[in-house]
Amino acid sequence: MDVPAQYLEELRSDLALYPTWLPTDPVELGAFGTLKRGKLHVDGRLGDLGIDVVARTSETSDAPIRKLRGVRFRGTSQGDATSALVDASLGVTIEVERDHAWVFAARGITTIEIQNIIAIRDAVLQAQKDGRWQREWLLVTEVRRVEALNVMIARSRATRARVVAKGTMAAADVLLADEVAFQRETDDMFTIENQTGATPLYALRKLQGFLRPGLRPIRGGGPGQEALELEMSAEEPFGFD
């Protein structure tokens, strides 16, 4: 399946975090590089520059993440078909309402982030002055590790599929259940099922200033003399062009 640009853009818009592609690709705190075709291509790690990273790990959250576009779930039951809860072992029908529809569902989410971000900022600024850091590099400063991950991306609205799982729940929550299994009626869909220990989301920072690279300040100074900061960069192009 082609890299799902729409999925990456929309999920990032919803969460203000970058999704990995493939969702099971590992992302390492302190890695840096550029985005190409939806993937972070790593040019190095802070350790390569002699910069030490101190990581901070949060407590695992009980709150899951479930995001979707262009998909609806319809449960079936031997009993009341209008019930809010369904027996997921009987199957939940996926109704695809548009091309490039998707669902992202994760639970057991842990945030791992750089704790000594001020020291990292100073070290990166020094590396940039020394010519060891490129202005376009993006730095991974946070990752989300999940205990369970399920993803579905449908290439076309003609996609037909069902999901079965353990337990009784709202149909829309079926991808948050245990032992999820997709039953495909067509081949135009991509899925990740029951992935554990993945890091499917991450945050990036970048050296940024008030001027575009190469421009001079209005009064005095020259290119490269503007004040830079290592700031969150939430809308970097995914590099599909």
How far is it, in rounded angstroms, from Cα 168 to Cα 157?
Answer: 27
- Whether residue 217 lies inside any domain: the answer is no
pLDDT at 82: 45
pLDDT at 80: 44
**Structural domain of residue 116, as residue ranges?**
5-206
- Whether residue 235 lies inside any domain: the answer is no
pLDDT at 10: 97
- Whether residue 215 lies inside any domain: the answer is no
- Whether residue 183 lies inside any domain: the answer is yes
How far is it, in rounded angstroms, from Cα 195 to Cα 175?
Answer: 12
pLDDT at 25: 84
Residues with Cβ within 8 Å of residue 158, at least 6 apart in sequence: 96, 186, 188
pLDDT at 226: 66
Total domains in the chain come to 1
pLDDT at 227: 84
- Whether residue 32 lies inside any domain: the answer is yes
pLDDT at 209: 86
pLDDT at 218: 46
Residues with Cβ within 8 Å of residue 80, at least 6 apart in sequence: none
- Whether residue 216 lies inside any domain: the answer is no
- Whether residue 164 lies inside any domain: the answer is yes
**Residues of the chain under the 50 pLDDT cut:** 1, 78-82, 213, 215, 217-222, 224
- Whether residue 233 lies inside any domain: the answer is no
